[in-house]
Amino acid sequence: MYYYILESPANRATRQTYQKLRDILTNLGIAGEMVAASPARTPEELTVMGIEKGYSTIVAVGGDHHINQVATTLLDRAVLGVVPINASRQVTDLIGVTDIRSAAETLKHRRLTTLSTAYIEPDLLLFLDAEIVAQGHAKISLVIENKVRAFAYFDRAVVNRALEVRLESVHVTEPKKILGLFKSGGTVVRSESLFHGKSMTIRTDPELPLLVAGQPIAKTPCNLRLLPESLKVITRRGTVS
């Protein structure tokens, strides 16, 4: 038996999709118990309730932010299942399916992939990628395993559950004079750097939020550490990574 946590439906079409999912799950014999998130009961609270009821598999049904909320409450406590609805490619690539019928069939086969996660002090987990977006260039410093490894200006930083940080920046060079009379247009220069470690401190100037699916989950400065192979997820192929 699975415990399904539905994202709060935004419209009638989503509610109809939920009913279609119920029918599919019933036909596959894996209906389980379904609950829907709401302002009164958050996905995190419902996840804890499912664990306290004794469910060993919690299924997040919805988009990226909802899935991340459920996943980050499960660490070492239960297996995560996912039914993506209006989810990004990051989610569908992870579980190996794009539609609710295939996702339901994947739940039935129950092949597991063990994933690492990143712990954000004092009490947050990172499952899906987080991004830090600057309005124009901002300063960032990375202290990796207690050693300064990076100090730079950036436009966007992406942090993933393997504790890899990708820094992206865009610069426009000054236009050049031609024969001392005319100026040619500036050149756009894009740069990217990748850093990783088992622990990391991220500082920015100014302070900026970490966003998952556009929603803030933390802000800089923040301390993170890698939690290897800390979450089991049901995926189409079932691998250990």
Per-residue pLDDT of the chain (241 residues; tens, 9 = 90+): 899 999 999 889 999 999 999 999 999 999 789 999 998 999 999 999 999 999 999 999 999 999 999 998 888 789 999 999 999 999 999 999 999 999 999 999 999 999 999 999 998 889 999 999 998 789 999 999 988 778 888 999 999 999 999 999 886 666 655 555 555 555 767 888 999 999 999 999 999 999 998 999 999 999 999 999 999 999 998 774 4
Q: CA–CA distance from 61 to each of 2, 11, 81, 103, 192 (Å)? A: 12, 15, 9, 10, 34
Topology adopted by domain 3-109: Rossmann fold (3.40.50)
- The residue to which tokens 């279609």 are assigned: 20
In a 13 Å sphere around the CA of 84, the CA atoms on its Cβ side amount to: 19
What is the tally of helices (H) and strands (E) in the chain?
5, 16
**Domains in the chain: boundaries:** 3-109, 130-227
Q: CA–CA distance from 12 to each of 16, 18, 83 (Å)? A: 6, 10, 18
Considering the entire predicted model, what is its pTM?
0.85
